[in-house]
Structures are given as C-alpha cells and as structure tokens.
Chains A and B, each alone.
Chain A
C-alpha cells in the first residue's frame, strides 16, 4: 500500500492537519442532523480524507466496507434512451461517484441516477441515521445544466439523503448549490504542517531523515500534502539512506512543460509554434487537464521572464484560460496563449536588444 493510503488518518480525531475543521465536523454530526456539505480547497489538502473520516464518524466502521461497482444505467432522455456507464464506490450507507465522468451527458446522471439513488431510503438497521450519503466528486467540472438539476435534487430529497460535494474551487459551483450547502473550506496545508506529517511518517517507517530534507520536499510539493508524501516515498525508493542534496524527482509531465517553456523562450516563430503544438498534444493525450497545463506553462514562463512583462502575460493567460472554459477544444486556446506570449516576448526582445 502506498504511504498516502497507509498513513491516511481514519478518524476525525487522528488528523494531523486541519484539526479544527475535523473537530467542528465531529461536533456537527454527533450533536445534530448533518446538512449538505460542500468541501472545497486545492488538491492535496485533505478533502477526501476528511470526508472519509466523517463518514466513519457517522456510520462507524461499516462505512469503510466499500465495493466498486461499474454499472450501465439506462436513462430515458425524451425520445431515446441513453446508456451511461458509471463507476460507483458504495457501502451500505453511502455512494460515491464522479458525475463529471459522463462528460456532456452529466446532467442525465444528476437528474436520473442521483435521483434514483436519493429516492431509495436506506433500510435503517439501528435507527440511528435516517439518511443515506451521496458523495459527489469534482462538482466544479459539472456543466451548468447539471448543476441546476443538482439544485432541485438537493431540495426534493433532502429528507432521505445528504449530499457531500467535493471540488477544487467553489467559484465554479453555482451560487444556488453553494447556498444550499454548508461550505467547508479546506486550505492547503502550510509547509511546516507538511514537514510535521513527513516526519511522522518517517518515524513510523523507521527512516533517518537528514535535517532540512523534509522541508525541501515540502517546498517542492507546492503545499500539496499528497504530492509531498508521494515524492517522499519516491525518494525512499530511489535512494536510501537519504542524503541532503538528493534530487527530488519531479513529475514527468512537469519536466515536459518546462521543456516546452524553454522552447518558447528560445525562438518565436510560427514554425516553433507548430512544434509546441505537437508537444501540447502529447500532454493532452496523457490526459493532463488543459487548465493544469496552461497554469504550469505560465508558471514556467514567468520564472524566466522580465518583471515588466509579467503583468501582461498573466493577463493573457487568464484571458485564454477563461475562453478555454467557454470553448470546447483546449488546444485552440492554449495555442493562442503561446502565440500571444511569443508575440509579446519577441516585441520585447526587439525593443531591448534591437
């Protein structure tokens, strides 16, 4: 088992970061009925961990006995029936699913399937909780239509079912949904918190950590705890005992993006733009989300950029990130950003060096 899973805190009492949130959640479910919840925060901050711990708090250990189900749902959509394949993770008390997997058909999942699940009241064995919990991941990726139907579902079946929504950014969730939930913001853990966790794991695994090593990993992780633990384990596999100047292996796609950035800085021409497009395709094929690519690319470019250009470049990155969201094919927009950057940068080079 990966360390990330192995050292995942199982109960709300054992969490190492966000203790305050955990305690509040515990109070919430023990003292009174639980409202709909919306967890949001950057990736790797511990949303899932908290949700799992919360479920355990609500239903006891049986919430951990889950089974994976891959089922094809037949949804009646007006004149035709649509087959939707959906993977769910369920225990006797909760169902977890990713409605956005269905792409543009996600509204059928929300309208029909979730309704179906929400309608069926669980057989209440101990008379403890009269509801079922639905955990919906990646709510921010849902289309607008799907979010609208989600709103209705939330109201209609609130007697028998609680929704726990989970997403990276609450800004992409509609107001209506947000206002129906108790919003729980999970911030990214601070670096010293990450160091604390890494040291805890190191102690449990019986590893010798050179001073400052955990801090380096934490710094590299970009305040993502999962990322930090993953690279910690990678380092362990690559070289042990740790040395202080050991290289922390970066993710391969990140290296690739920085390669692209270097290409862009080196030459600004349509031909180069075309080459860059090829490399971007490579990333997209590997399912790296285009937003992540764009963000990372901007990050890499800004590193090498003169400060007077930074503002403008950021502006355009934001502009094309927005149009990417409106649009359909990400490559059009990423490429437009790259072209714009090239054009700005070339103008700058000519102006300064003639």
Chain B
C-alpha cells in the first residue's frame, strides 16, 4: 500500500507531461469527481481487483493514442485517485522506512538508549524487579507514580525497562471522547452514556479487586510477569469529579496487588495559577500519602539531548553542525521528544532550501524556527536574582565607571530577559525580592542593604504612579511596569555587592500580603467602631486618631467607655458581618 501512494503522486505529473490536451479536461473532472471518490466507496471496489498500478500507468503512457475515449481515461484516473487516497490514508498509520517520524524510529529500545538519568532508571528497575520477584506479597505497595514534564521520557522508560525485564505492559486504553452529536445519537438509540471518568473508575475497581481480568490476557497469563500502565488519567474538571478521581486512585494505591505504574505529566510551574495543574500536584501528594512510590523525572539535560541528537545525525548521515545541535538541544528545554522532532524538521528544511543552513547566523547563534520558548518558574527567576551569581574575573572592558559602581559580569541572561521568561509582573516581583533579599546580604553589609532598600523604594514609587493613569494608556502602564521591575531587580543585584555564598534558601511568600490583609480588616473594624459613638460623641474622628489614641487609651480605661454604645449596637454588628469577605490572594 505504501508503495502505491508514492506512485500516485508522480503519476498525475506524468500524465500531464505526456498528454497535454487531455490534461485540462482531466483536471476539471478531477475537481468534479474528487469529492465522490473521497466518499470512499471507490477504494473498496478497487482493492478487490489488485491490478498493479505501475503497470496501468505505463500502459496509459505507452498507448496514449489508443485510449481514444476520454471518458475511459477519466474513469481510470478517478480510480487512480481513489486508490491513491486510500493508500495514503492507510500509510498514515503504517511505517515507511525513510519518512517515518524520528521520534518513533529512535525510540529507546534498551536501557542504554535511554537519555533519562541513570539513577532514576535504576530506581524504577529495582522497584519493578522487587514487585515481580515477590509476587503477591502484600508488604509492598504496588503503585509507582512517575511525574515529569512532557517529553522527558516517562513512557519510554517504562517500556524500555519492561522489555528489558521481559514484562508485559498492559495499558489502560483511554476511551475515545464522546462528542455532543454522538451523545445525542446514542442516547436516542437507547444507550446509556457513561462518562470517561466512570469507565476509568470501573477499570480501576476491577484491577484493584481482581488484578487482570482473564479475558484481557493471553493464553498463559500467570507465567509471564506483567504490569499495568496508566498513562492517561481522565481529564477532570471541577472539584467534584476531581475528588472522585482522587478517591478512586487513592483506593487503587492502597489495595491493588499487581504492579501498577501511573504516569502524571507536570505542566510548567509558570501556569500554576490554573486550577487543574494545582489539582495534579495535590493528586501526587495524596497518592504518595497513600503509600505510592514516587519518582520525579527532571527535564533531560542539554548534554544528553545533544548526545542523542548527534547519534541520530550519525545514523541518518546528516551533516548538521554541532552548534546547530546545541541550539536545538538548548531550545527544547529538556523535552527530548520536541528536540528530535525539531531536528527532523530542521533537516527537512535544510535539504530543500540550502539557504537555511549556512546563513542566518543571528547574534545568538542559529535562528531556530522551531523549538519551544524557554520558560522559567517565578521562583527560579527569583533565585537567580537573589543568588546573584557573578563571574570571578572582570571582563576587559573600558572602565569608565568608578570603582564603587563596577560589578563583575553576571552569570545569567539579562535580567529583563529572565523576567520575561518567568512572566514576572513587577508588583509581585518587588514584593518577593523585598521579602527575601535580606537573607542574601552578608552580615556586615548594612550599606548594601540600604542600597537595595532604596532601589526597592524607588521601584515602589514607580509602581504607585500607575494608579493615576490606570485604564488610560496600556502602553504607558506597560512601560512603567517593566521599568519598575527592572529597577527592583537590577537594584537588588547591584546593591548586594557581596552576596552570601549559595546556601540553600527557601524563598518565602511575602509576609506583607498577610499584613496588608489584616491591616485592611482592622481598618474596616475601626471604621465600624467609629460609628458606635463610643469614641467621639457627636463627630467622626480620623482613623489615625482612633488607632494611635483612642484604642490604646481604651485598653487602660476598660469598661468606662461602653456606656453610650447601646443605641447603635445592632448597627455595629451589621457592619462587622461585612468584614468577612476578605479577598483571598
């Protein structure tokens, strides 16, 4: 089938070449007929009569004059087309030698092929071996959770290890999602709709109680060791269904007696504001609490990706330059699947257009039209700023700056770029820096601390200037935001002349947020109390006066202030009730 398809592509050209005046009519007919043949009734009849197509084409070529009836030829063409169509369709799933996706082609077959860190592989291997050897031993917990970013080789590792140990992998097949029209159709037909989550729950319950059901097994089920792989957890939306999923997995972890591996894909930390990704994190911890063994895969190092890519290049006999490979490896951000696809795409391009390879040297090496944008988590970026790592030697530049203003070159990208990668907004960045920076200033460096503090104060003033112009000009707002962020970040990096050597620091959430909340609450309370009249008979007094004078004094005086409150008490309570709705950050 695969062969046929390639021929069809060339055949139309051949026809055009040899038979010019027919071509016009043919192409018109093609337009007419195409949808019909596309309706796929033709291919079936065609495949019944397996005439080798090449022969037919050559026949049409050798007797161009003979087929005097244009209709015949047209029909023939249609058949060709239809055949080609099916051929193409099938070959999509079929593997052809030279046009296969490299991701599939270079799938790791053995443990040595894996680019994943050796330790992690070993960990999983040992875990699996233990489970296989001591069968039906209930001391162990039988669930392994593997987490990691997409494309770090979670599934590949499991498959490689399984084939290494001779373990059969039974995978949970995700049911095809039901679309709405289909749903209506089936319900009309009287079938009950079953949600995918329900199906998953059923499946989990089955393997939890009975292990593998015999029907799903081959003839000799008990001889060969096996494991169950759950790669594709059902998507949950909302708290209720998420809770169900969590419960069912929790039970699975606790009671299942066959080795089970659950793969959970982490999504970038940068979008943790998203509810679902938070769910996944929670899910992981709950599984761990239930006793599952967790292995977290890190993004694959650029080195291993480079190695892998160079190997592919060797095997494919490509002349990709080392820098190009490096660039691809770097751009992939630890996602090896992406890296391999990029490489394939890259070479595809360079084959067809020679320009791409040798020119286009931009300032940062090769401009890749593929690969992913690198992102950083906010905390990663903050860590970079706070640790403030610098080269040990001064770069030889013409020093026009005074001694006290020069700093060693930074060991990182330009702060603004890092900020961009972390999607950092000025306000939270400034708050986080303010909260944490003092941990990184050395004990003697109070002068540094002042410089840092003064820059943060400037950044705050800049940010405050946003208030007035809000909703008037986004551009100005953007500019101020990014300027303020730069001032804060660069101020911190400039000011901290002797950052503490990199010890482990946990980055704290700004206490300020909490302070602001309770301040706000207290303030509301005071506004409420003010109306009671307890403080100031017939007039409203300033909040500051209440805070600084009335309140402290009322502590001393105690009960004597309460006499004339009663008239407004219910009113006061009503105000208090409103206080509870404090905006959660």
Chain A residues within 8 Å of B, Cβ to Cβ: 1-2, 4-5, 8, 43-44, 48, 51-52, 64, 66, 68, 70, 85, 87, 89, 96-98, 101, 104, 137-138, 143-145, 226-227, 230-231, 233-234, 237-238, 249, 251-253, 268-271, 273-274, 277-278, 281, 284-289, 292, 320, 323, 326-329, 331-333, 335-336, 339-340, 342-343, 346-347
Interface residue B169 (Cβ < 8 Å from any Cβ of A): no
Nearest opposing residue in chain B for A333, CB measure: B457
CB <8 Å contact, B527 and A51: no
Q: A281-B515, A329-B512, A343-B450 are in contact. Are A234 and B457 (CB under 8 A)?
A: no
Q: Which residues of B contact A326 (CB under 8 A)?
A: 461, 464-465
Chain A nearest CB from B318 CB (Å) reads: 55
CB-contacts of B403-459 with A (<8 A): 430-431, 434, 438-439, 441-450, 452-454, 456-459
Task: Known A85-B578, A145-B468, A251-B552; judge A336-B539 contact (CB<8 A).
Answer: no
Is B571 interfacial (CB-CB < 8 Å)? yes
For A327, the chain B residues whose CB sits under 8 A away are: 457, 460-461, 463-464
Q: Does B18 contact A (CB under 8 A)?
A: no
The verdict on B531 contacting chain A, using a C-beta distance below 8 Å, is yes
When chains A and B are docked, how far (Å) is the Cα of A313 from the Cα of B131? 71
Q: A96-B539, A287-B543, A332-B434 are in contact. Are A270 and B441 (CB under 8 A)?
A: yes
Contact pick for A98, options B542, B557, B568, CB 8 Å: B542
Picked from A97, A288, A328, the residue with its CB within 8 Å of the CB of B463 is A328
Partner pick for A332 among B453, B467, B575, CB 8 A cutoff: B453
Is the beta-carbon distance between A336 and B446 smaller than 8 angstroms?
no
Give the distance to chain B from A88, nearest Cβ to Cβ, in Å. Answer: 8
Contact of A342 among B450, B519, B537, B564 (CB under 8 A): B450
Contact in complex: B538, A52 (CB < 8 Å) = yes
Given contacts A273-B449, A286-B522, A323-B461, contact A137 B542 (CB under 8 A): yes
Contact across chains for B556 and A234 when beta carbons are under 8 A apart: yes
Among residues of B, the one whose C-beta sits closest to the C-beta of A4 is: B536
B540 within 8 A of A: yes
How far, in whole Å, are A173 and B558 apart by their CA atoms in the complex? 37
| B515 near A284: Cβ-Cβ < 8 Å | yes
Q: Known contacts A87-B531, A249-B556, A328-B464; is A336 also within 8 Å of B575 by CB? A: no
B518 at interface, CB cutoff 8 A: yes
Question: Is B548's beta carbon under 8 Å from chain A?
Answer: yes
**A263 to B547 Cα, complex, angstroms:** 24
Give bound CA distance, A323 to B378, whole Å.
28
What 15 new A-B contacts, CB under 8 Å, besides A64-B538, A339-B450?
A52-B538, A85-B578, A137-B540, A145-B468, A233-B553, A270-B446, A285-B519, A289-B543, A327-B464, A331-B434, A332-B434, A332-B459, A333-B460, A336-B454, A339-B453
Main secondary structure of the interface of B (DSSP, over half): helix
Q: Do residues B574 and A70 form an inter-chain contact, with CB atoms below 8 A?
A: yes
Does chain A have a CB within 8 A of B526? Answer: yes
Q: How many residues of B contact A (CB 8 A)?
A: 74
Closest to B459 in A: A332
Instruction: Report the separation of the CA atoms of residues A287 and B558 in the bound assembly, to the nearest whole angstrom.
Output: 20
A-B contact pairs, 30 of them (CB 8 A): A4-B536, A5-B537, A43-B542, A87-B540, A89-B539, A89-B540, A96-B539, A96-B540, A98-B543, A104-B467, A230-B549, A253-B547, A270-B443, A273-B446, A284-B519, A286-B547, A287-B543, A287-B547, A288-B544, A289-B544, A323-B457, A327-B457, A329-B460, A331-B512, A331-B515, A332-B434, A332-B460, A335-B457, A339-B449, A340-B450
Residues of A within 8 A of B551 (CB): 286
| Residue of chain B at shortest CB distance from A293 | B548
CB distance from A111 to the nearest CB of B (A): 15
**B468 close to A287 (CB less than 8 A):** no
Q: Is the CB of B557 within 8 A of A234?
A: yes
When the two chains form the complex, which single residue of A5, A52, A87, A288 contacts B530, counting CB atoms closer than 8 Å?
A87
**A68-B571, A323-B458, A328-B464 known; A234 and B553 CB under 8 Å?**
yes
- B543, B553, B578: most-surrounded residue (chain A CB, <10 A): B553
Which residues of chain B are near A335, meaning CB under 8 Å? 434, 453, 457
Per-residue A-contact encoding for B352-385, CB less than 8 Å = 1, 0 else: 0000000000000000000000000000000000
Beyond A1-B537, A329-B512, whether A252 also contacts B444 by CB under 8 A is no
- Least distance between B226 CB and chain A CB atoms (Å): 57
Q: How far is the CB of A335 from chain B (nearest CB, A)?
A: 5
Q: Is B220 an interface residue (CB 8 A)?
A: no
Q: Quick check: is B545 within 8 A (CB to CB) of the other chain?
A: yes
- Give A331's nearest chain B residue, CB to CB: B512
Cβ–Cβ contact B549 & A336, under 8 A: no
Cα distance A227–B552 in the bound complex, in angstroms: 11
List chain B residues, Cβ under 8 A from A104: 467
* Chain A residues, CB < 8 A from B541: 48, 137
Q: What is the CB-to-nearest-CB distance from B225 to chain A, in angstroms, rounded to a whole number? A: 57
A112 to B446, CA, bound (A): 49
- Chain B residue with the shortest CB-CB distance to A65: B538
> Which are the 3 A-B pairs with shortest beta-carbon distances?
A328-B464, A336-B453, A339-B450
Assuming A1-B537, A336-B457, is B542 touching A87 (CB within 8 A)?
A: no
Query: Is B555 in the interface zone, CB < 8 Å from A?
Result: yes
Complex CA distance for A24 and B464, rounded to whole angstroms: 42
Is B560 close to A, CB under 8 A?
yes
**Cα(A284)–Cα(B506), bound, Å:** 25
CA distance A339 to B456 in the complex (A): 12
Pick from B431, B539, B571: contact of A52, CB below 8 A: B539
Q: Is B511 an interface residue (CB 8 A)?
A: yes
Chain A residues closer than 8 Å to B512, beta-carbon distance: 281, 329, 331
B439, B444, B528, B578: which contacts A269 (Cβ < 8 A)? B444
